[in-house]
Structure 1
Amino acid sequence: MTAMATGDLMVLSFNVIVSQIIRHYFPHSLLSYTTACRLSAFLQGLSLQLSTWFTIAFTFDRFVAICCNKLKGRYCTEKIANMVISVVSALSIMVNVPLPFRYEPNHILNNIQWGCRTVTSYLTSPAWVAHRYLTNISNMFVPIPLLLLLNSLTAHHILVASRARRVLKSSRGGAGEMGRDPELKSRRTSIILLFTISGCFVLLSVPITVIHILVGVTHTVTYQGSTSLYLAIRSTFLLLCTSSCTNTCIYALTQRRFREEMMNLLKSPLSLLCKPHK
C-alpha cells in the first residue's frame, strides 16, 4: 500500500503540478530547457504506469490473501512484496525509457537546447508505433479487465464464504446474532471496498481509453482546429490523474494499518532530521 501511495503521489507531482501547473503558469521555468522537458516526459509516463500497476499488484495480493489459503503463506510475505515492487518498477522504467527520445529541441540558442517538439519519425517509425501500442496496452487495455476480474473473484469468494457462515450459524441456532457478527460485517465492508475501487478505476480510466481508440481508428494525428477534441483529451487526462489518488484516499479512510504505515513513512525523515539536532 505504501508503494501504491508513492506511485499516486508521483502522478500528482509530475503529471499535475509539474506538467499542468508549472508548465502553463510558469513558461520560463526550468522546463524550458530541452533536457528538463525530456526528463519530465519520462517521469510523467513512469508515474502513471507505477500508480496503475502498484494498484494491480496490491489487488492481486488481496485476492491471494482472501481466496488462496494454500498460496497465502508463501506469497503474502515482505520478501515477495519487495520483489514484486522491484519487478514492477524495473519493467515500468524499461517501457518508459524511450519517452525522452520522442522529443527534440525547438531551437538552439548559444549552444543551449530550448523547448521540446515531437520528432518527425514518431508518426511513421515502426518502432515508435510498437512503443505506442505497448504503452496503451500496459496502461489502459490490460489493467481495467484485470482489476475487474480480480475484484470480482474476490467479492464472489467473500459472498460464498459469508453465505456458508450464515447457514452454519443458523443451523446452530445463532440467527439472532448474525446481524451483530463482526466477521460478516467485515466481509460486507470488504465487498463494498472492492466494488468502490473497481468502479472508480473504471469510470475514471475508461474515457481516455475510448479517446485513444477513436484517435487510433480515425488516424487523427493533429487537432486540426478541433477545440472539442482538445477539450475531450484534456478532460479525460484529468480524470486519469484523478483516478491515481482515489484508491489511496479510499484505503486511507477505511484501513487502519494503511494510515499507520503512512504516518511511519512521514515520521521517518523527521526522525532522521531530529537526531543530529539532539
Structure 2
Amino acid sequence: MSMADLLVIITEVLLRTVAMMYFPRSFLNITPVCSTNTVLACAATLISVWFTVAFTLDRFLAICYQNVKAKYCTERTASVIMGIVSVFSCLISVPWYFTMGPEYNMHYIPRGCIFKQAFLNLTSWASFELLMLSLMAWFPFLLLLLLNSLTARHILMSGRVRRGLRDRKPGDNDPEMENRRKSVVLLFCISSSFLLLWSTQVIYVLSERVFGTPYVKGSEFESVALMLQVLCTCTNTVIYVLTQNKFREQMKSAVRYPIYLIVKLVKNRNAS
C-alpha cells in the first residue's frame, strides 16, 4: 500500500503536475512522454485504491471469519492478489494514452497534453471515463463501506457477548473493549475520508459528462479535485499503519536511534 501511494506521488504529482508546471520545456512535456505519464498515474491510482480494498477484505476475513484466516490471509494469497490487481490496473489504463493529443509543436516536436476532441465528444470515451471513475471511486467506496460495516457489526456484537460474559460492573475498564471501540472508529474514518476526498473529483467528471458543463482543463475546481484525489491515496495507508502498535514501535526506534548514536559518539569523544 505504501509503495502504491509512493508511485501515485511520483507519477501524478512529480512527473505530471510539478514537471508540467515548472519545467514546461523538459522532455517530460513531449506529448508521447506526457501521455505515458497519464497512463502510469492512472494505473498507480487504481493500484493504490484497490490495495486498500484488498487490505480491508483481508482484515474483514481475519476478524469475522477466524476459520478461514489461516487458509486465505497468507503472504502467498496477498502476493497473488497484488499481482492480479497490478496487472489489471496497468492494462485497463492503457486507453488513456490515446485520449491525449499535442497542445502545440516546437521545432516539429509535439509538446503538451490535452484531451482530443474525440475524447470529449464520443459516447464511447465518455463511457470509458465513467467506467474508470467507477473503478477508482464508486465501487471501492461501496466495498469499503460494506466490509467496514460488517466488521464493525461483528466487533459490536462480540463486544456485547463479552460484556455479558464478564458481567462488568459500572466504571470497570475493559482494555479489550476500548480497543474494539477504537477499531470501529477507525473503520468508519476510512470510509468517510474516502468518500469526502473523492467526492469533488466525482462531481467534476459528472458535471461535464452528464450535465454538459464545459470541460475546463486547468481550472481551480479541477486542481482542487486532483489535490483531494491524490491526498486520498495516502490517507488510508496513514490511518491503517499509524494505528498499528508494531509500526509505532518501529517509528520510535527509528527516531531514537540517531539520538543514541549521537550520545554514544559524544561519550566516546569525552572518554578519549
Alignment partner of 1:202 is 2:191: no
Partner residue of 1:276?
none
Equivalent residue in structure 1 for 2:239, among 225, 250, 259:
250
Partner residue of 1:121?
118
Cα deviation for residue 130 of structure 1 reads 3.3
In 1, the alpha carbon distance for the partners of 2:15 and 2:229 equals 16
Partner residue of 2:266?
none
Cα deviation for residue 43 of structure 1 reads 1.1
Cα deviation for residue 107 of structure 1 reads 4.9
Contact residue 52 and residue 237 of structure 2 kept, 8 A: no
Letter in 2 for 1:219: G
In 2, the alpha carbon distance for the partners of 1:212 and 1:124 equals 14
Alignment partner of 1:99 is 2:92: no
Partner residue of 2:20?
23
Partner residue of 1:48?
45
Partner residue of 1:270?
none
- How does 1:175-190 map onto structure 2 within 5 Å? 175=169, 178-179=172-173, 181-190=174-183
In 1, the alpha carbon distance for the partners of 2:78 and 2:16 equals 31
Q: Which sits farther off after the overlay, 117-126 or 130-139?
A: 117-126
Equivalent residue in structure 2 for 1:71, among 58, 68, 72:
68
In 1, the alpha carbon distance for the partners of 2:91 and 2:131 equals 11
Partner residue of 2:136?
139
Q: Which structure 1 segments of 5+ residues have no match?
A: 264-278
Q: Which structure 2 segments of 5+ residues have no match?
A: 253-272
Partner residue of 2:184?
191
In 1, the alpha carbon distance for the partners of 2:250 and 2:5 equals 15
In 1, the alpha carbon distance for the partners of 2:160 and 2:189 equals 21
Partner residue of 2:255?
none
In 1, the alpha carbon distance for the partners of 2:228 and 2:215 equals 22
Identity of aligned residues (%): 37
Cα deviation for residue 178 of structure 1 reads 4.6
Partner residue of 2:268?
none
Letter in 2 for 1:84: I
Give CA-to-partner distance per residue, 1:145-187, whole Å, 9 cap, x none.
Answer: 21111111111110110111011000xxx537951x3322221
Alignment partner of 1:7 is 2:1: no
In 1, the alpha carbon distance for the partners of 2:183 and 2:131 equals 33
Contact residue 40 and residue 90 of structure 2 kept, 8 A: no
Contact residue 30 and residue 112 of structure 2 kept, 8 A: yes
Cα deviation for residue 127 of structure 1 reads 4.0
TM-score (norm. length: structure 2): 0.83
Partner residue of 1:36?
33
Q: Which sits farther off after the overlay, 9-18 or 108-117?
A: 108-117
Partner residue of 1:85?
82
In 2, the alpha carbon distance for the partners of 1:8 and 1:47 equals 8
Cα deviation for residue 65 of structure 1 reads 0.7
Give CA-to-partner distance per residue, 1:1-56, whole Å, 9 cap, x none.
Answer: xxx11111111222122222221111112212122111111111111111111111
Q: Which sits farther off after the overlay, 44-53 or 117-126?
A: 117-126
- Give the aligned length: 252
Question: Structure 1 residues 239, 232: closer, same or farther in 2, change over 3 A?
Answer: same
Which is bigger in relative contact order (C-alpha 8 A, separation at least 6)?
Answer: 1
